[in-house]
Structure 1
């Protein structure tokens, strides 16, 4: 054992380094990881690009932003005291409330003293000689640590469309994920929203309430389903708090950690009348039940998927008065649930308003942004405000924006040039002591449930290393191969993997991301946890520890 390793074994710290661990990002992942690192007695520093905590809920302040997981299934589960103290006001909480929750957590656990705000990480380079990472901020400041933990999010890197003239527009313009902190007034204004994904849907249904005129530019329609949100009554609040153990146990058991899980029946195991009744029940129920609580074969059997797609298409036709507009809003290139399903509140009714126009930007593409508005192939539209609801460079995008270099100067972007390869979504071969929270190929679903598991697993690995006086952990190639093959196997046969979306790594606004890859883990969360638990229980033999 080296003198340095002996010091680490005895004290739990590496005195020649600035910190024992550096965490990138102060969202839900970064805050919880900081709490766990402190419990290990480690010197930790969190670098956060924003001016406050919250991650997703700090950056996404657009009108209508809110949960589509039940609030009480979304918050942290690790602290009984926190669960008892915090009251959610709605079944699906809005962004301002969720940001207040994040700040409440930061205050309760005194997290800010170890978080450095306004600090965007530009580079992170592995130093083999010292078994440490050197992290460089955009302002040039450098910091060193034994471990580097990324808490940078799945959907955190916004992308603008590659239109000519975006900078020339003289009115107000925003990407939804970079919304200003001060209110934006739409009253009497001519507003454009570009994009009808989950963010676009939430934005459109709110902006339409006050805008003088709203024009929606839709390239690809998405299947949407009602959210059915409402306030939580005092009686419900008491029942929820009494039921937290059961709620989180349920989340542990379900396929995607939501309150809902696939029905054990196949679509055609029941009569047409029973199917229709079941679909009606799901459509009238709150949350993601119609997506993740539907018949078990909805996302694998084409005929089964057509049944639910036809059902939802008819609902759209019933809700939108103009048949031509209704047909524009019904997807023709993918079935229900094969892309992420936005949940909405009277979204389709927006298109019945006389002050709302839907433009098919596939039929009449946007050519450029002009100083006064948007020019398409057949018209020019004048606007006061343009909103870009054009999504994110998902899953690997946030990693691509940081110059991460492992052994022998290999960049992570080079490593993943042919598609991400990981060990359980948390480690990468050739990148020692780099631990990823919600990296590619981790189980997603109800995100905070995945966060808590990933953080606890990483913390367990670090605890094991400290107990053994070890200072270096790297994924073995055979472990990466086995996990990557498993990820491919559980994704085989899924209709979702036949569709271009962020879930399959496709983004037309990002160079080099026009080809589908297996970009996410498609198996069940319990199966994912069982694999990770086995890695730990078997002494981390899929890792090289030294």
Structure 2
């Protein structure tokens, strides 16, 4: 706990700032606050840095943003010395990169590992926060910054008997640190979202037999990954300034941005050729660089959905299986798009079966495997690729109590309410990195902006001897209404997904909400910049 001072004087906290999480946002926030000369401590639940890339060690885990657009941009020296080996780096390489960053900038000395935060309480008298860890220890701080990630709380399916299974079982986001031996094993994968797709396509050739249990098929498009040769490496490094400038200009900070044309402003032949071109190119171009109206106009969306459905039928030999892999309840790109490498060809293998659990639901997990309404399956390994309690889930795991004892979980019961996605009324001196209602997109680009904005606010408070920064109820209402308005007309907000706050495996999260900012990243930054330029006058300062 903090040392006390003379009577009547505010106690000196243990730290000027505490950051929860040592992933990509936590590391950069630590770097920036240390530049300001602040006493900072990071508490990290894991045994090392990396966040997403520490926890998600499943086979095939990798970027779907181009590696060079994903790394930090703040250090020219770092950009020059790090060589990405692939256009879309795998998890081991990304984790090495983040460890390199932690070592290069000597960040570990201010990080406490194996330290899970369970509670954080605001104290009106000290105008600071008390942060409590799982072991019962607690620390005081003036500023509390959450760097806990939008996709960091895994969820397991609510299926009876999960604990009865005698073989190995794990969630993709809690993969064992030691290698898993698949040779000759009977393996089940439950889930066909992005992590399921990457896992399935990677292990299909290693296992004895693979059974995929699918509830909702997803539209997927080819990743077209490849090694980066020496000449390309040179070009990438020479082009970093222009590339990062482009990321600042595009809608979602990717290298791709929507085509200005509508899907019906070209001939059928031109549209088909454009889709073929996008399908053959690397990365998110087919999602982020497609016609401007495919995510808002049902008829326009049907043209790209029909195109990708034809591709699935061409790639999967058994047409009955192909039809099961084609989504019927949402259009292409209205849920986050998984990028794949020969995923559909997996279902041409003799050792792979697809089970549609809308036809034959899973009734329970047994000691030997999985029982559906049709039959019992025996497995050696069960893999749960069942996703995350997204956007608000990581906040729900910590008991945040603000001014007057307000509980964040109660406040957000009907959906998040934030100011700029960074602050919450009644939670003074608490700032969220990549919280609900912020611009996500190519996340590291958004992380750097959010960290720099928070750092600017802290710098302003220090310079003006402010000890209390709080969002006003009017500011929160205005921003939350703005975020909701931006979602009107988007086909994605009519779909059940983590982007609309739906998670059938989490109690109370079966109603669609607007949990993400769906406007452009440049517009988001312009609004935040305006607030800063006016001296943060929209906040309650004291």
TM class by shorter chain equals over 0.9
1: distance between equivalents of 2:415 and 2:90?
35
| CA distances 1:131-156 after superposition (whole Å, capped 9, x unpaired) | 00000000000000000000000000
Structure-1 separation of matches of 2:464 and 2:403? 23
Residue in structure 1 matched with residue 518 of structure 2 by the alignment: 522
Q: What are the residue-to-residue correspondences of 1:102-501 with 2, within 5 Å?
A: 102-501=98-497
TM-score of the pair, normalised by structure 2: 0.98
Hey, what's the Cα distance between the residues in 2 that align with 1:356 and 1:542? 57
Cα distance between partner residues in 2 of 1:356 and 1:147: 52
1:267 partner SS: coil
Query: Alpha-carbon deviation of 1:211?
Result: 0.5
Question: Partner residue of 1:502?
Answer: 498
TM-superposed CA distance for 1:481, in Å, is 1.3
| Deviation for aligned residue 1:122 | 0.4
CA contact (8 A) 2:287 2:337 kept: yes
Q: Distance in 2 between matches of 1:242 and 1:113?
A: 33
Q: Pick the aligned partner of 1:27 from 23, 26, 31.
A: 23
For residues 504 and 94 of structure 1, the distance between their equivalents in structure 2, rounded to whole angstroms, comes to 28
Q: Deviations over 1:363-395 (max 9, x none)?
A: 111111001000011110000000000000000
* Distance in 1 of aligned mates of 2:397 and 2:198: 27
Instruction: Using the TM superposition, give the Cα deviation of residue 362 of structure 1 relative to its aligned residue in structure 2, in angstroms.
Output: 1.1
Q: How far off its partner does 1:539 sit?
A: 1.5
How far off is 1:105 after superposition? 0.2
Contact 1:478 1:542 in 2 (8 A): no
Q: Which residue of 2 aligns with 1:94?
A: 90
Q: Displacement of 1:438 after TM fit?
A: 0.3
Following TM superposition, by how much is the alpha carbon of 1:111 offset from its aligned partner in structure 2, in angstroms? 0.5
Q: TM-score, length-normalised on structure 1?
A: 0.97
- Does the 8 A contact of 2:11 with 2:126 survive in 1? no
Q: Counterpart of 1:133 in 2: which secondary structure?
A: strand
Q: Secondary structure at the match of 2:264?
A: helix
Deviation at 1:162, TM superposition (A): 0.6
SS in structure 2 at match of 1:426: coil
**1:134, 1:145 within 8 Å by CA — same for their partners in 2?**
yes
> Aligned with 1:123: secondary structure?
strand
Separation in structure 2 between the aligned mates of residue 15 and residue 210 of structure 1, nearest angstrom: 59
1:418 CA drift (Å): 1.4
Q: For the residues of structure 2 that align with 1:419 and 1:62, how far apart are their CA atoms?
A: 31
Distance (Å, rounded) in 2 between the aligned partners of 1:15 and 1:345:
57
Which whole-Å deviations, capped at 9, do the CAs of 1:372-422 have from their partners, x for residues lacking one? 000011110000000000000000000000000001111100111111010
Deviation at 1:530, TM superposition (A): 0.4
For 1:252 and 1:535, the matched residues in 2 are separated by 19
Offset at 1:355?
Answer: 0.3
Residue 85 of structure 1 corresponds to which residue in structure 2?
81
**Which residue in 2 is equivalent to 1:11?**
none
Alpha-carbon distance in 2 for matches of 1:357, 1:162:
23
**Mapped partners of 1:281, 1:461: distance in 2:** 45
Structure 1 residue 124: Cα displacement: 0.2
Q: Distance in 1 between matches of 2:205 and 2:531?
A: 52
Cα distance in 2 for partners of 1:541, 1:207 equals 54
Q: What is the CA-CA distance between 1:454 and the residue it aligns to?
A: 0.3
SS across alignment from 1:96: helix
For the aligned residue pairs, the C-alpha RMSD in angstroms reads 1.0
Q: For 2:237, what is the secondary structure of its paired residue? A: helix
> 3-state SS of the aligned residue for 2:446?
helix
Post-superposition offset of 1:207: 1.0
1:489 shift after superposition: 1.3
Report the secondary structure of 1:66's partner residue: coil
Cα distance between partner residues in 2 of 1:401 and 1:173: 23
Q: How many residues are treated as equivalent by the alignment?
A: 535
Shift of 1:15: 6.7
State the alpha-carbon separation in 2 of the partners of residues 527 and 477 from structure 1.
22
Partner of 2:540: helix, strand, or coil? strand
Is 1:75 the counterpart of 2:61? The answer is no
